[in-house]
Amino acid sequence: MAKLLHDDDPDPAHRFPAGPLYVPVRPGPSGCAARLFRAPLGDRTAVGFTSAGRLTATLGPDQARIRLAEPALRALTAPLGITTVTVDPQFSAPAPAPVEPATPVPALRIA
C-alpha cells in the first residue's frame, strides 16, 4: 500500500480520511457552529464520531449534530489554527458546574 505524504503531518502514514462523521454543534449567530474540544494535553481539537450512537454515548442524547466529511471538518477548523481531528473519543469531561460562594464557618471557642 502506498504511503500518503503530507508536508505538515509529522506521521503522514497514519493520516487517512475518516469519511462522513457526526460532528457535535452548538447554536451560533449564523446557524450552528462546530463544537471544539480540548485533547488530554490541552490542545484544541475538532471532534467527529463515526456513528450517531457513539456521539450520543459520549455527549448525551441532547447533543445537536451535523454530518460532515473529515476533510470538510479540517477545512472548517483550519482557519482557527486547529489541525487535529479526534475521531470517536471515548471520554468527555462534564461541563464545569457553577461555583457557589463559600459560606463562612463560625470560629470555634476553646474553653
Q: What is the mean pLDDT of residues 11-25?
A: 70
| Residue 40 backbone class (left: φ over 0; alpha: ψ -120 to 50; beta: rest) | alpha
Residue 12 above 70 pLDDT? no
Report the chain's mean pLDDT, rounded to a whole number.
81
The three grid cell numbers given for residue 85, joined into one nine-digit string: 481531528
The three grid cell numbers given for residue 88, joined into one nine-digit string: 470517536
CA atoms of 16 and 61, how far apart (whole Å) = 29
Give the phi and the psi of residue 18 in degrees, each rounded to 5: -85, -10
Q: How confident is the model over 36-88, as pLDDT tens digits?
A: 999 888 899 999 999 999 999 999 899 999 999 999 999 999 999 999 999 99
Report in angstroms the alpha-carbon separations of 27 from 16, 17, 33: 30, 27, 6
Looking at this protein, which amino acid is placed at residue 27?
Answer: P
Closest CA to 48 of 37, 32, 62, 61: 37
Counting residues of the chain whose pLDDT is more than 90, the rounded percentage is: 50
CA atoms of 48 and 14, how far apart (whole Å) = 17
Residue 109 has a CB neighbour count (10 Å cut-off) of 5
Work out the pLDDT band at 19, boundaries 50, 70, 90: confident
Q: What pLDDT, on a 0 to 100 scale, did the predictor assign at position 6?
A: 46
